[in-house]
Amino acid sequence: MLRRKPTRLELKIDDTDEFESIKKELEARKRQREEAESGGAPGGGDTALGADGAQAALSSATARTELINERIGFKPHPKATVLPALFRSLQF
């Protein structure tokens, strides 16, 4: 078995500055996307919208789940809801 020296990573000030700038850009994009989805209303909280807000929150949650599944390559297969019908067709 080959042995090697432990790997060491060094974090520099430039790296943290770059991370912070990228993080701010992503947050700005997210804010713009949320404002565009909510009809351009800045700071529109879903709690003030009532049932429509609940529907929007539900659709955004499903959209987020679909986005995550697509990103990681997960393709869920729907479960068959007619299993008893399948077993009836197998009876003689």
Mean pLDDT in runs of 10 for the chain (92 residues)? 80 90 93 82 49 68 84 75 59 52
Q: What is the pLDDT of residue 78?
A: 66
Q: Which two tokens stand for residue 84?
A: 């008893």
pTM exceeding 0.85: no
Domain boundaries, the chain: 49-73
Q: What is the pLDDT of residue 52?
A: 61
Q: What is the pLDDT of residue 86?
A: 58
The Cα–Cα gap between 42 and 25 comes to 18
The confidence score (pLDDT) of residue 44 equals 47
